[in-house]
A and B are shown apart, each in its own frame.
Chain A
Amino acid sequence: MPPKVDREKCDGCKAEKESLCEQICPGDLMTLAEDKKAYCRMPRDCWDCMSCIKACPKGALETRIPYQLGYHVAKLIPMMGTNTITWTCIDINGKVERFQYINRGMLD
């Protein structure tokens, strides 16, 4: 279940030798097509760990549940802050929920 790539937003991480999704994917699955847009070379092999989604500086990647497993369409969008992460989850009925918490540093 590969990440869906928003080809408008993806700029192939121009400044990098390798795009960040290509650098980070634990399965060596993300890479750039000839037009310098990200794609998943083996869609069946994605683990849905969302490492690439978190790494994408453009918010161009989105994990989707395949239709065989879940209905159209739910979204889960992580936003990485300094020592925090914020997730926005939208279910198939349009219900929006937000989760925000510390992901680095000591808790009281």
Chain B
Amino acid sequence: MAEKIPKSLNEIQTEVIATDLLIIGGGNAGCFAAYEAKTKNPSLRVTIMEKAHISRSGATAAGMDAINTFIRTDKGETPEKLVKWSRAQVGGGPIREDLALSNAELLNETVELLEEWGLPIVKDEDGHYKLRGRWDISIQGEQLKPIMAEKAMEVGAQVFNRVVATNLLMDGDRCVGAMGFGVRDGKFYVFHSKATIVSTGGACGIYKSPVTDYSGAHHQTWMCPFNVGTGYAIGIRGAAEMTSMEQRWIAIRTKDFCGPVDTISVAFGCMITNAKGERVMEVRYKDVGGDKAARFYRLNAPMTEWLEGRGPTYVDTTILSSEEAKDLREDLLNERPSFVLFLASRGHDITKEPVEIYGSDPYIVGGHTGSGYWVDMKRMTTVPGLFAAGETAGGNPNKFVGGCAVEGRLSARGAVDYIEKTTLPPLDTKQVEKEKERVFAPFIRGPEFDGVNPMEMEERMQRLMDEYAGGIHQFYRMNEERLDHALKNIKMLQDQTKYLYAKDIHSLMSAHEVSDRLDVAEVLVHHLKYRKETRWPGWQTRMDYPEVDPDMDCFVESVRDPKTGEIKIFKRPFKQLIPGDRTKA
């Protein structure tokens, strides 16, 4: 559509929407939050603020081929066992076992809801959900996102598509909504709400992707590149406490085109091999579990093979029959269809040649690892009135699709209880005007402004983080001096956001995306600096502190002072609720 660049703020219309519950981000967790809130109390006004279109937004836009966690009680599995496994997957933690247990207890009925809504879940001969690993079940999830979105609309959530969140709306220390702008209509939006759930998804694009350089395919990433960490950034700027940001999610992926590896290795039994044909995990990593080792080992091991001269690395698909190879590609079509196209573009018969694997760029995704808001059992953050769900909620890793949906429901229950005890204070118009000015500043500067375009700044930041804060091109390794260099330059970039200009509303969105990513990157580097040990090799490798430090068996936390911008870092103790060896599943 034709866009007019406004010359002054007065030309920009402000929409104020009063509501009971605001959900920022209508992805998996957001849709489930809307469903739960409306089911608990149909008279509540529930509003979803969505950056894209909820039918195909966020991490599950392309679909999904599995739900990675389901508790087969008929096989003797229990919520406690799932939490034990989750803890082992992050090397024994620390994890929030209290959150994880309450999540696991609601997991199965939530997955069953998805089936009721129309998601095809594959069954075995006995009519149970068919396992493809210990916890994973196969789905034909090409329509997963539209199914969830339709349910959110059906229960009566009011959806604002194409509205980007830029900051929380505060009443003193309490969150009373959020502000943002419309990428289609160019309006400034103020959502004034009794409670707010932040469920934007995590942060991709803080680091350079390994494919970026040579194809112009800047978004050849595993995580959704449109999830830029806004959910974390608004909380960081709003003085919310963040936890475990240093526990980065980095996965081993298919090389040159970021496709899933677990689908190939876990579901189809194709193991990791190196150039010499050795079974890498069995030969060198037997002591940490071999092919069943925690995920960071399964990332770090093949990358170490490359470093030590035994690359390339593969998943050995040559064990598959042509029928199995077709089934595998059908699974891939449900989650990452373009990877099937990639194989076709190489004329690659996977039964004859193995599939090459390599590490991804690092992501901050609390649905996978522990990064995100510190929350209480109601899923309220340390900011009253603000709840977190999905990838933004910290301390509880390995949630994936099923667990993030559960968190949506649990955060809605917490928010509904909170709403009953509260009223909406008057709108702080001064704060609204100040944010409007900040939001549209790159636009008002206009396309002729002698400044910086968002893409240039993004690429500068991504290279900085890649080289100095443990990206893929440095095999995820880092040390104190490099982190200091990263931090110094992040501060420079943050200061230079005042030179950002936007030529249209899309690039206004990009300007805010890079600013948000910088705020997440800054906190991330502080966390990486504080953990002076190597607890999760690959995810967090400190070359200057290569061993585990028993004193760091705790959560690393941070709060940014909104007045000074100073970031305070501190510890919280780990509480073990489920007894036993923490590194054993």
Report A's interface with B, CB cutoff 8 A: 1, 18, 23-28, 31-32, 41-51, 55, 63, 65-66, 68-71, 73-76, 78, 85, 87, 89-93, 97, 99, 101-108
Contact (A27, B142) CB under 8 Å given A69-B217, A99-B329: no
- 12 contacts across the A-B interface (CB closer than 8 A): A26-B52, A45-B219, A49-B224, A66-B216, A92-B347, A99-B333, A101-B330, A104-B119, A105-B120, A106-B120, A107-B121, A108-B123
Residues of A within 8 A of B220 (CB): 1, 48, 69
Q: How far is the CB of B510 from chain A (nearest CB, A)?
A: 8
Interface footprint category on B: 35 or more
Q: Nearest 10 CB-CB pairs, A to B? A: A70-B345, A74-B344, A48-B338, A91-B344, A74-B345, A49-B62, A76-B341, A68-B215, A51-B56, A44-B218
Q: Does B337 contact A (CB under 8 A)?
A: yes
Residues of A within 8 A of B56 (CB): 24-26, 49, 51, 55
Residues of B within 8 A of A65 (CB): 257, 338, 341-342, 345
Q: Does B110 contact A (CB under 8 A)?
A: no
| Distance, CA A28 to CA B507, complexed state (A) | 10
What residue of chain B has the Cβ atom nearest to residue A31's Cβ? B1
Q: Do residues A92 and B344 form an inter-chain contact, with CB atoms below 8 A?
A: yes
| Distance, CA A57 to CA B65, complexed state (A) | 25
Q: Does B55 contact A (CB under 8 A)?
A: yes
| Distance, CA A47 to CA B147, complexed state (A) | 21
Contact (A24, B217) CB under 8 Å given A50-B338, A97-B326, A104-B147: no
Q: Does B183 contact A (CB under 8 A)?
A: yes
Q: Do residues A70 and B346 form an inter-chain contact, with CB atoms below 8 A?
A: yes
| Distance, CA A108 to CA B126, complexed state (A) | 10
Q: Do residues B337 and A50 form an inter-chain contact, with CB atoms below 8 A?
A: yes
Of the residues B115, B225, B345, contact of A27 by C-beta under 8 Å: B225
B102-133 interface mask toward A, CB cutoff 8 Å, 1 = contact, 0 = none? 00000000000001001111110000000000
Q: Does B177 contact A (CB under 8 A)?
A: no
| Distance, CA A76 to CA B345, complexed state (A) | 10
Residues of B within 8 A of A97 (CB): 326
Q: Do residues B344 and A90 form an inter-chain contact, with CB atoms below 8 A?
A: yes
| Distance, CA A26 to CA B145, complexed state (A) | 12
Q: Does B506 contact A (CB under 8 A)?
A: yes
Q: How far is the CB of B427 from chain A (nearest CB, A)?
A: 28
Contact (A99, B330) CB under 8 Å given A1-B215, A26-B224, A44-B219: yes
